[in-house]
Amino acid sequence: MKTIHNGIVYIVGAGPGDKKLITLRGVECLQQADVVIYDLLLNDGLLEHCPAHTEKIRAPDPRIRTNRQTELNQLLVQHAIAGKIVVRLKGGDPYIFGRGGEEAMALVEAGIPFEVVPGVTSAIAASAYAGIPVTHRDYASSVAFVTGHSAALHPDSNINWEQLATAVDTLVVYMGVAHLPQIVERLILHGRDQHTPVSLVRFGTTPQQFVAQGTLADIVEKVEAAQLKSPAIIVVGEVNRLREQLRWFDTKPLFGKRILVTRARSQTSEFADFLEANGAEVIQFPTIEIRPLEIDSADIPTPEKYDWIIFTSVNAVEIYYAHLREKGKDTRVFGGCSICAVGPKTVEALNSIGIYPDFVPSHASGRVVATEIEVVQGKKILLPRAKIATTDLPDILRERAAHVDDVPLYDTVKVASENRDTIKKDLLEGRIDFVTFTSSSTVTNFLEMFPSHTAKDLLANVRVAVIGPTTAATATEHGARVDVVAKEATIESLTEAIIAEYSNLSE
């Protein structure tokens, strides 16, 4: 059949749940996609790899659309014929119980070029995250993947349960939770020892992961008692005995904790990485956005005119330096002045452009900075910073007879949030464990989003963590209880403080 040019479809395995388990090739495909058609249970964070113009289409729900696969095939063909780069984003691996082969055949019949990008399948990933190796030299040298869908249990099914029951050491069953009693019955009936260990791993590789363990003799009863529902995989075999020794994911200090992050989306990723690395589920709820002011770079004062420049944030460093570059200047222009950097992240931002500060204060508060800096009488000081910054720093410097140019470079503006009602419900019902605030503006903007509730009522069922004393003071002034204050004004320190709080609670 004649090939249709320009359009192409990438059938991409997204992995089992953890958004970082997608392959590099999978990310590359998303980064160039015009259209993404994605499965229901995928981690929405994967869609952040897409360009702004990408059209995102949620696949039809197979539970309510009996002709779902036909609709999907038509969508793929329709967009590819229009000359678009299409990504069909599928959970796990496309060719392991993912019907990727059917979609590929539809593309072949339509003459559309395609590429298959394998993904990490849940049988391997969820088992590994649960501490269960599907093979092990001492326990299992063979493994089989089988569907537990109702069709697999029909008398005319092509799955030979009689032989499968004892043919392999480890048996991993997909889509079998609803039919667990029948699966167990068939395995025992056809010779599998009823004392064989069994594990069910629900929402594997995510902070919601839950593992139920038993044997073929009692696993049905245990699953019913735990009210465990799909999606989950069933692992049958002696390798399950290794879980207690090899479990590593659900023993992380923040495992399963839901933590709300309110800082600007552009600054969230590193904080989220720290929390997620310790097992937390991060809920991004930005209350501010860092927005550079519309200033002509020609109007920005340059370092040669000053004795000191005080940078109080990473944003100040990046935005000020961008203006200098617009003026055709580089770091050599800082040669005649001294540099003060507030906080380790600001130091790192300066280091990244080849500047090593002359002075770093012991704390991040404006009062400490203004009093610890060396003799400033008669000195000219440039203070590039946020429009809404407090006046403590320039006021005290002027009291010490310094000449201060306070130059606002950016603003922290309030942003609207689409999921505000969901967040409010989760807060009031205690389904969020921690709310984090990284500046006074995140506190005030957050509370202004919920005008019908006082801070005390809104945060009554959650714990509050803040990045420093100034933010803590703002939260307290609004009536919020502050449970954790970071020792240093860094997200690393804030993460450590949250971990320490949970450690203390568990003792």
Asked if pLDDT for residue 5 goes beyond 90, the answer is no
Element spanning 164, H or E: helix 161-167
Asked if pLDDT for residue 118 goes beyond 80, the answer is yes
pLDDT score for 401: 94
Q: How confident is the model at residue 159 (pLDDT cuts 50, 70, 90)?
A: confident
Please report, rounded to a whole number, the percentage of residues in the chain having pLDDT higher than 70.
97
pLDDT score for 62: 66
Q: How confident is the model at residue 11 (pLDDT cuts 50, 70, 90)?
A: very high
pLDDT score for 376: 87
* Domain residue ranges of the chain, discontinuous segments joined by +: 8-119, 124-246, 258-287+415-506, 292-412
pLDDT score for 206: 95
In one-letter notation, the amino acid at residue 365 is S
200, 122 in Cβ contact below 8 A? no
- Give the pLDDT confidence of 472-496 residue by residue, as tens digits: 999 999 999 999 999 888 889 999 9
Q: How many angstroms separate the Cα of 163 from the Cα of each of 114, 146, 186, 189?
A: 37, 13, 11, 11
pLDDT score for 277: 93
Q: How confident is the model at residue 265 (pLDDT cuts 50, 70, 90)?
A: confident
pLDDT score for 2: 45
pLDDT score for 131: 98
Spatial separation of the C-alpha atoms in residues 31 and 47, rounded to whole Å: 9
The CATH architecture of the domain made up of 292-412 is 3-Layer(aba) Sandwich (3.40)
As a whole number, mean pLDDT of residues 82-102 equals: 95
Asked if pLDDT for residue 403 goes beyond 60, the answer is yes
280, 272 in Cβ contact below 8 A? no
Burial label for 454, CB within 10 Å (0-12, 13-18, 19+), is middle
Q: Who contacts 262 (Cβ-Cβ below 8 Å, separation ≥6)?
A: 285, 286, 287, 288, 435, 436, 437, 438, 442, 445, 446
For residues 291 and 132, the model is more confident at 132
As a whole number, mean pLDDT of residues 377-384 equals: 94
Q: How confident is the model at residue 343 (pLDDT cuts 50, 70, 90)?
A: confident
Quick one: tokens of 347?
Answer: 């130091």
387, 357 in Cβ contact below 8 A? no
- Could you say which of 3.40.50.620, 1.10.510.10, 3.20.20.60, 3.30.950.10 is the CATH number of the domain covering 124-246? 3.30.950.10
Please report, rounded to a whole number, the percentage of residues in the chain having pLDDT higher than 90.
77
The CATH architecture of the domain made up of 258-287+415-506 is 3-Layer(aba) Sandwich (3.40)
490, 474 in Cβ contact below 8 A? no
Give the three-state DSSP class for 11. Answer: strand
| Alpha carbons within 13 A on the beta-carbon side of 134 | 22
Q: How many C-beta atoms surround the C-beta of residue 353 within 10 A?
A: 14
As a whole number, mean pLDDT of residues 373-387 equals: 91
Q: How confident is the model at residue 456 (pLDDT cuts 50, 70, 90)?
A: very high
For residues 151 and 160, the model is more confident at 160
pLDDT score for 4: 46
Q: How confident is the model at residue 60 (pLDDT cuts 50, 70, 90)?
A: confident
pLDDT score for 282: 94
pLDDT score for 1: 41
How many residues comprise the chain?
507
Cis previous bond, 231, omega within 30: yes
Spatial separation of the C-alpha atoms in residues 207 and 200, rounded to whole Å: 16
Q: How many angstroms separate the Cα of 453 from the Cα of each of 457, 461, 477?
A: 6, 13, 15
pLDDT score for 158: 78
Spatial separation of the C-alpha atoms in residues 247 and 230, rounded to whole Å: 22
Q: Which CATH superfamily is domain 8-119 in?
A: Tetrapyrrole methylase, N-terminal domain (3.40.1010.10)
Asked if pLDDT for residue 506 goes beyond 70, the answer is no
Average pLDDT, the chain: 92
For residues 76 and 414, the model is more confident at 76
Element spanning 380, H or E: strand 380-386
As a whole number, mean pLDDT of residues 193-206 equals: 97
Q: One fold for both 258-287+415-506 and 292-412? A: yes
348, 355 in Cβ contact below 8 A? no
As a whole number, mean pLDDT of residues 89-102 equals: 94
